[in-house]
Structure 1
Amino acid sequence: MLVRLLYASRASQPLTPEMTESILAKSRAHNNDSGVTGILCFSGDIFMQVLEGGRQPVSDLYSAIIRDKRHHDVVLLDFEEITERRFSGWTMGQVNLAKVNPCTLLKYSEKPCLDPFSVSGKVSLALLEELIATAAIVGR
């Protein structure tokens, strides 16, 4: 059975490009082995991530994320059983919102910034789908 999980969190310390690349590299290697796909979106200290795959691998990964000291304020935004993946092309795609048109962000929230803590999980998923459609995601 496939599931999709969307969560948001805050970084415990300021992110450097090296830290982000390390997180992505480890995610891609682990996710490929466990059949998990998804997207990591970040802006400032906020992360938003979609994980798709089998129920147990996704649950295990989310449990590890909750325990990871690099995050805090981990919030589950959406969880559902799915019939097919939306993010199957990425073992962990990356969106750096510093490079996204602020109008795209404003379309989905009160201000032109990433704030998944103040919108619904469905709104956050719609934003991610638009980012896919506009080719704003890198790192297949």
Structure 2
Amino acid sequence: MKAIIYKSKALLSDIDLNELLRKARIHNSQHQITGILVTVIDGFYQYIEGPEDYIDSLYHRIVMDERHHDVTKIYEHPLTHRRFHNWSMGYLNLIHVDDLAQIENHENTVEEFQALIERIMPLELDESLQLQTT
């Protein structure tokens, strides 16, 4: 197993995030991929984990996806156990400046990323949460 954290720029107003999450959850469930998608003002951070071949394939698809640009791999490492085992695709929208600063200034090791997500949104929440419109 392996994990990747990446960040990318995207024009979020052009993306149907509910549909993106629905499709990602189906695909990820079929391929034993778990993780979390974090939206920030100008794009995404994502942590994905699972079988190495599937993670490599998914990351390649993300890099080639025209909805993303400036895709940057922050972290890539083998795993002995899953960190987000209950989520085929968790979702977090960081709209608070403090939250955004925490993730953008973070060292982004898997443990630090998970700890940051847990501080912002406890892992007991399930992935069925839909996007909140404000």
Q: TM-score band, normalised by the shorter chain?
A: 0.7 to 0.9
2:91 to 64, 74, 94: 94
User: Residue in 1 aligned with 2:74?
Assistant: 77
User: Residue in 2 aligned with 1:50?
Assistant: 47
Residue 57 of structure 2 aligns to a residue in which SS? Answer: helix
Aligned-pair identity (%): 31
Residue 130 of structure 1 and its aligned partner are, at CA, apart by: 2.4
Conservation of the 8 A alpha-carbon contact between 2:3 and 2:49: yes
**Partner amino acid for 2:55?**
V
Residue 21 of structure 1 aligns to a residue in which SS? Answer: helix
Cα distance in 2 for partners of 1:39, 1:6 equals: 10
User: Which structure has greater helix proportion?
Assistant: 1
Structure 2: unaligned runs, 5 residues or longer: 130-134
Structure 1 residues 46-83: Cα deviation after superposition (integer angstroms, max 9, x where no partner):
20000010000000000000000000010001111111
TM-score between both structures, scaled by the size of structure 2: 0.81
Q: CA RMSD in A?
A: 2.4
User: Residue in 2 aligned with 1:15?
Assistant: 13
Cα distance in 2 for partners of 1:47, 1:95 equals: 10
Cα distance in 1 for partners of 2:4, 2:12 equals: 25
Residue 87 of structure 1 and its aligned partner are, at CA, apart by: 0.5
Structure 1: unaligned runs, 5 residues or longer: 109-113
Worse-superposed segment, 40-49 or 118-127: 118-127
